[in-house]
Amino acid sequence: MSETRKLAAILVADVVGYSRLTGADEEGTLARLRTLRSDLINPTIAVHNGRVVKRTGDGAIVEFRSVVEAVRCAVEVRSGLAERNVGVPADKRIEARVGIHLGDVVEEADGDLMGDGVNVAARLESICEPGGICLSEDAYRQVRDKLIEAFVDLGDQNLKNIARPVRAYALAPTGGGRPAIPSVKVAPSTPDWRLRRPAILAAVIAILENVARLIGAYAQRAATGGRPAMQPAGDAPGAVPRSRDRRLRRALIARDRRLRRALIAAAVITIVAVRAWRGQEPSAPPPPPAPAPATVTDNKLAHAPRLSIVVLPFANLSGDPKQDVLADSLTDDLTADLSHLPKSFVIGRGGAAALGGKPVDLKELGRDLGVRYALEGSVRRTGETITLNAQLILTETGADVWADRLEGEQSRLGELQAEIVSRLAKSLDAP
């Protein structure tokens, strides 16, 4: 597949407590989420010229041409969600976390985006408070002088699987408070005085050099006698006696030496104080830590096709061991049906079993097999009624991309399987 690199503003959003909400009221939560997408989220994205790269079940990855537009979109959606949550119990509110980053991304021929530009935005979203909007320093620089919103400096953040710390900024809550994140400080709105330290230090050094030149000139004059040129000397009439002249000259020299030492000491103390105030800026910063070498499994996932899926064995929830055959056949049939999707790369349950039968860690599974998605689910037979539950998970983050449940008579099992594949393909925008 052909791919191109470009600079883009990436917004990654996710619903807070999605699993809890769907566990308490799956149908109601899904209906509310669909309404929010059609009435609030999608129109706001369109107004700010955003492009939905992909849906991730309860979230989305959106590309913008401008960081300003990305932040404005996030703020409007947050305000819209707050209005709709008025009067709703706290455990039923739909709130979102948003991460925004400006970075270099790789765009594939099908429009999908990959790379650190997307990964950083996703990690920033994960550290947000409920209802929060978190920006990287690269994104913050683009909006700090263009938006009236207040930001909070979160300092350097060690984001998971990101080699170097990323400085993060959170958009202050609408109520004017501060995000509930420990050890934060308000980002300065005035010029950073540290940027002016080199110029101030240069001015101080110039003053000290002028003082040193004056000291030298004064000391040289004192060494020549330190008296007016027309003053008679020696044994001439009206002259100062030579013994007294020598005592005066020594006194002047001693005074000048004390003065010079005092000024030199003051200059040294001034330089030390200025350098201590200036900090470590004159010296070169330590080299950044080298990124960890990419492993073979990481490379597999980095170059995996967009529609790469592993189908995990469906669970038998009937309580009857005889129905294990039904679950196994469903797993195999879904594997075959998904493999017919154009440009798909599907690994059946045998590929997952090759890992040794251990409890499945989806992130590790995705890296080991080189697949972006994992399909898992369950089947229950009650009399002649079959209930199928299926969910598609993004292996890199563990986020649910799609989930659904279908019921029907056992004689319609083939139709139910086809419907699952159709809905899954639609959620991935597969042709």
Q: Which amino acid is at 410?
A: Q
- pLDDT for residue 44 is more than 50: yes
- pLDDT for residue 179 is more than 70: no
In this predicted structure, what is the pLDDT of residue 302? 61
Burial of 312 (0-12, 13-18, 19+ CB in 10 A): buried
Instruction: Give this prediction's pTM.
Output: 0.45
* Lowest mean pLDDT segment, chosen from 8-12, 109-113, 264-268: 264-268
In this predicted structure, what is the pLDDT of residue 402? 81
Six-digit token pair at 78? 């947050």
For residues 127 and 172, what is the distance between their CA atoms, to the nearest angstrom?
A: 15
Burial of 293 (0-12, 13-18, 19+ CB in 10 A): exposed
For 3-190, CATH number out of 3.40.720.10, 3.40.50.620, 3.40.50.12780, 3.30.70.1230 equals 3.30.70.1230
- Average pLDDT of every residue of the chain: 76
CATH class of 296-427: alpha beta
Of residues 94 and 279, the one with the higher pLDDT is 94
- pLDDT for residue 133 is more than 90: yes
Long-range (24+ apart) CB contacts under 8 A made by 248-253 are: 249/225, 252/222, 252/226, 253/222, 253/223, 253/226
In this predicted structure, what is the pLDDT of residue 383? 79
Taking only the tens place, the pLDDT of each residue in 139-162 is: 999 998 888 888 888 889 888 888
- pLDDT mean over 338-365: 66
In this predicted structure, what is the pLDDT of residue 206? 67
Give me the residue spans of the domains in the chain.
Answer: 3-190, 195-229+240-278, 296-427
Of residues 161 and 267, the one with the higher pLDDT is 161
- pLDDT for residue 278 is more than 50: yes
- pLDDT for residue 416 is more than 80: yes
Six-digit token pair at 22? 């769907």
- pLDDT mean over 224-253: 59
* Lowest mean pLDDT segment, chosen from 57-66, 164-173, 356-365: 356-365
- pLDDT mean over 223-227: 53
- pLDDT for residue 177 is more than 50: no
In this predicted structure, what is the pLDDT of residue 361? 72
For residues 140 and 67, what is the distance between their CA atoms, to the nearest angstrom?
A: 8
Burial of 274 (0-12, 13-18, 19+ CB in 10 A): middle
- pLDDT mean over 423-428: 79
For residues 253 and 261, what is the distance between their CA atoms, to the nearest angstrom?
A: 12
- pLDDT mean over 410-426: 82
Those residues whose C-beta lies under 8 Å from the C-beta of residue 268, and which sit 6 or more positions away, are: none
In this predicted structure, what is the pLDDT of residue 100? 95
**Largest Cα–Cα distance of the chain, in whole Å?**
140
Q: Phi/psi at 188 (nearest 5 deg)?
A: -65, 135
In this predicted structure, what is the pLDDT of residue 215? 65
